[in-house]
Structure formats: structure tokens, C-alpha cells
Amino acid sequence: MRRNTFYSVIKMAVAGALVGALAACGGGSGSSNESAASAGTSVGTISGFGSVYVNGTRFRINNALYTGNDGIERESQLDKGMILKITGTWGADGQGEARNIYYDDTLRGPVQLMSWDTVAKKGTITIAGQTVKIDARTVFKGATVNQLHDAVTNDTADYRIRISGWRMADGTFQATFVGAKKKGSGWTGEWTTVEVEGAVSELDTQAQTFKINDLIVDYQSAEFDDGVREDLENGAIVEVEGKLVDGKLIAGEIEFENDWFDDHDDVEMSGTITADYDSATRKFQLNGIAILVAENAELDDGLTLGRLTEGTEVKVEGEYRNGIIVADELKMRDGDAGLSGFIESKEQGGDVLIVSGVRVILTSSTLIEDEDAHDGSDSVTRRTQDLENLQVGEYIEVEGRETSENGGGLIAFYIERDDDDDLELEGRISQITDTAVTVLGLELMLTPATKGPLSDLRQGDKVEIEFKKAGGEYHIKEIEKDG
């Protein structure tokens, strides 16, 4: 729950003054692009540290003020996958300066139910009556997804969790981060309370109760923040913190949700579309916030208006006006290709990997899972360490977007280490001959056993391929059209 509102960020009228201010601040080299500098609010998940990477920008945080009421007071308490709100400045060169960092748990409390499909890598967690979706890109800290699932199966009181995620249009949540703490490691401070957020329904002013999804909230003794008791109404979005008693949340504090941004802020946000694009209004919803696509908006990375559908991940940049983000730039953040294989070499200081023959490009937005990400230590792994820890010979799984530039390859959104040895890829056929197909810039040779299925495939088809390396070449073991 937050008690402090964000400080307004005043845009500097003189570009030189902005550049001078950035140059005077510590925390890293480089200065923001003078002509492209923005001052405002950036909301998105953490993808790296040194200082903090959010929405593809490296925000220097030496002089930043931390706000919020969930125990986050310094960088070492932050984790990848957490959703941050940063007020500050940033430039087209990917460098920024954070003035204020705000973190707030989306949900917190004991796990009631959990499902997990180890093959599809998808599942759900039920916490305080709220349904939370998890997947391969959800970052877990304090316990692996399998450890947490086993603990829930055997004893739901063994772990308590904190979740950072996006609230979807149907009232469910998509988790980007799940932090777990075991009973023996101490449930103190924020871990002793339950926190939920969502829309008020079935408000009963006589009994002083309402519901958030299936959870009954008793607000008789609650304190109110950013509003008063009389402001409660069905449909209002609130955060509630309290204690669970016999399946009911006894509210200690209720906060009315404020806008993420200040009016006329330059803003950037990334996340999951929660309501489809409407061509009549030129609007869609991202993380529950209305986005108006400007007439001259720039759409990059293969994004089209028709792809602005629920569940798609995008990044938008624009200006916040009267409760709406007017977007002038939109980028696709949804993966359309994947790869599992061994790191064969590292190039450009580790920013480019050759993984089982495929060129994998890492960006400042690439989320790299740490080897020690599941421990409970109060520490962070810096971006340089992430790159150094990706060693030649390691097996990794990569999710990202296909690119045809520089001979083709894969722009990585997500990388996770694994201990498997199967070589697999998913992408579109860019070239096809009688003896080979090329996918993600990799030529894969056909064998007599795989020539049959090839007769039904065409250039441009999306395929899933299992392959092997033999004699310096890559050979298809199995090929299947996807969809």
C-alpha cells in the first residue's frame, strides 16, 4: 500500500539545462540525447541492474528517493520482474536519471491454491481469493515455481508470497514477479499482512462489506487513504491491506487507486494489453490504462493496429492527458520465436550470443534469469554480471522476436538457463530448398526421414523444429508446422 504520492516532474524548458543536470549526477557514464530527452514517468518491469533497467532505459538511481509502504527502501531489495514507477528523465540513447522510485505489491499473503504445467510452463496461483496467472517469464525469488507448487500441495501455510503484476480486464492478474518467504525465515513487517487490489463489487454500506472478486472485505475499522469512507462505490478501484480471518479480509487500510501519471507528463509504459484496440475510438487498454493511438503514431518492430489485442505485450510512449495516454510511438514486445540450445560463442562483449548456430541479440530490455535468482538473499545481480555469467557451453532457453537484419537471428526478450540438452527452435521459414530450410538465419539440413513433411511447407510458414549438430552442420530431426 502506498501512503506517499509521487512528486510532479517539471519539464525543463532549456535543453542545455537538462543535459547539465544529467551530467552532474553520478551512477554511470553517458549523457541523454539532448534533442530526444524526456522528463516524466516510466512504468514497467525491472529487466536488469546497474543501476535499474526499466522499459529499455538504464536509470541511474544514486540520488533517487524511494516511496511506497511495502518495505522497499533501497536497490538491494528490488528484484527483476518487479513493476516500478520511476519519475525522472531519459533520452533516446537509453540513459536516464531517476528522481523517485515507487514500488507497491500488487498482492500479498498466503497461497491458497496453485497449478503448474511443467511442459507448457503456465499455471495459476490463488491468493486471498484472487486468480494470478504465471508463466515462463514470471520471475520467482525465494523459491522456484516447482518448490512453491510442492509446498502448496503439501502445506499451503508453508510460504507467503508477494506478487507484482498487471491487473487484467477480467479481474485476474498476470504476475511478472513472485517473491516467496518460508515460515521459518520470519514473517515480519509487510509479510504479516494481506494486500489485494481490484474493483469494488456488492457494496453493502449497512454491513460495511464489499467484494473484490470472490474475497469479502470487512471495512468497519478501516482507515482510508486518498479518499474517505463515503467515496466507496461499486466499480471503484481500491487497494486493501489487512488480516485474513475465516476467509474474510478485515481491512486495516483502504486506499483509492490514483492515476499512475501526472497530467501532461511525458510517459512510457510496457506491459500486457488488457482490452483490444477499437478502430472507431482509436483506443485500447494497457495495464488497465486507456491508450489513444495518435493519428501519426509510429508503430515499430512489426506491430500493426490489428495486433493490438488482449494479451499482447507492447511498449508505448506519449503524453498523459486527462486520464489517457496519447501514444505517438508503439513497439511490439511480444515474442514470436524461440530457441533452446548451447552457447557456442559470445560476441560484442556478450551482447550477441551464437546459440546452436543462431545469432541471439541481447538488448537492455532482455530479462536474464540469474542462477541464484531463487535464493532469499538481499542482493542484486548487475547487468554486467548477467552477461558474464552466460558462459560458452551453457544450455539456455530464449524467447524473443525474429529479425532478418545482419543475416537473421533472434532478438531476445527472455533468457533462462536450464539443464536440458535438446536443440529446438520456433520461427518462420525464410528460405526453402530440396535439401534444407532456413529459420532464424540458421540453415538446417534435411534427412531422408524429414523430407516427407517438407512437401507441405512453404516459405513464410511458422515451424517448430527439433535438430542436432553433426559434422559442423545442423540437421533436422523433426519438423512440424505451427498452427
Name the more confident of 161 and 185.
161
Q: How confident is the model at residue 289 (pLDDT cuts 50, 70, 90)?
A: confident
* 406 torsion bin: left (phi>0), alpha (psi -120 to 50), beta (else): left
Q: How confident is the model at residue 327 (pLDDT cuts 50, 70, 90)?
A: very high
Among the listed residues 70, 46, 67, the one whose alpha carbon sits nearest the alpha carbon of residue 195: 70
How far, in Å, CA of 240 to CA of 227, rounded?
Answer: 13
Q: Which amino acid is at 38?
A: S
Quick check: 439 pLDDT over 50?
Answer: yes
Task: Give the mean model confidence (pLDDT) for residues 403-408.
Answer: 83
Q: How confident is the model at residue 371 (pLDDT cuts 50, 70, 90)?
A: low
How far, in Å, CA of 182 to CA of 143, rounded?
Answer: 9
CA dihedral sign of residues 187, 188, 193, 195: negative
pLDDT value of position 306 = 93
Quick check: 190 pLDDT over 60?
Answer: yes
DSSP of 373-403, one letter per residue? TTS--S----HHHHHHHS-TT-EEEEEEEEE
- Coil vs helix vs strand at 19: helix
Domain locations in the chain?
A: 15-103, 107-192, 195-256, 266-332, 337-481
* From the candidate CATH numbers 1.20.140.70, 3.40.50.300, 3.40.50.10320, 2.40.50.320, the one assigned to the domain spanning 337-481: 2.40.50.320
Task: Give the mean model confidence (pLDDT) for residues 34-63.
Answer: 86
Predicted TM-score (pTM) of the model is 0.83
pLDDT in tens, 101-160: 999 999 999 898 999 998 888 999 999 999 999 998 899 998 999 999 998 888 766 889
Task: List, in order, residues 6 or more apart from 195 with CB less than 8 Å away.
Answer: 1, 70, 105, 107, 108, 109, 239, 240, 241
Task: List, in order, residues 6 or more apart from 197 with CB less than 8 Å away.
Answer: 106, 107, 167, 212, 237, 238, 239, 240, 257
* 22 torsion bin: left (phi>0), alpha (psi -120 to 50), beta (else): alpha
Which segments of 57-94 are extended strands (E)?
A: 57-60, 65-67, 83-90
pLDDT in tens, 340-363: 999 999 998 889 999 999 999 999
pLDDT in tens, 453-477: 666 788 999 999 999 999 889 999 9
Among the listed residues 33, 20, 92, 23, the one whose alpha carbon sits nearest the alpha carbon of residue 60: 23
pLDDT value of position 184 = 65
How far, in Å, CA of 408 to CA of 428, rounded?
Answer: 11
- Coil vs helix vs strand at 304: coil
pLDDT value of position 360 = 96
Q: Do domains 107-192 and 337-481 have the same CATH topology?
A: yes
- Coil vs helix vs strand at 283: strand
Q: CB–CB of 47/137 below 8 Å? A: no
* From the candidate CATH numbers 2.60.40, 1.10.287, 2.60.120, 2.40.50, the one assigned to the domain spanning 195-256: 2.40.50
- Coil vs helix vs strand at 361: strand
CATH architecture of 107-192: Beta Barrel (2.40)
Instruction: Classify residue 44 as exposed, middle or buried by CB count within 10 Å of its CB (0-12, 13-18, 19+).
Output: buried
Locate 465 and state its grid cell. 523444429
Binning the chain into helix, strand and coil, the percentages to the nearest 5 are 10, 50, 35
Name the more confident of 68 and 101.
101
Q: How confident is the model at residue 274 (pLDDT cuts 50, 70, 90)?
A: confident
Q: CB–CB of 31/95 below 8 Å? A: yes
pLDDT value of position 11 = 29
Task: Give the mean model confidence (pLDDT) for residues 85-107.
Answer: 92
Q: What is the CA radius of gyration of the chain?
A: 24
Q: CB–CB of 383/391 below 8 Å? A: no
* Homologous superfamily of the 266-332 domain (CATH): Copper binding periplasmic protein CusF (2.40.50.320)
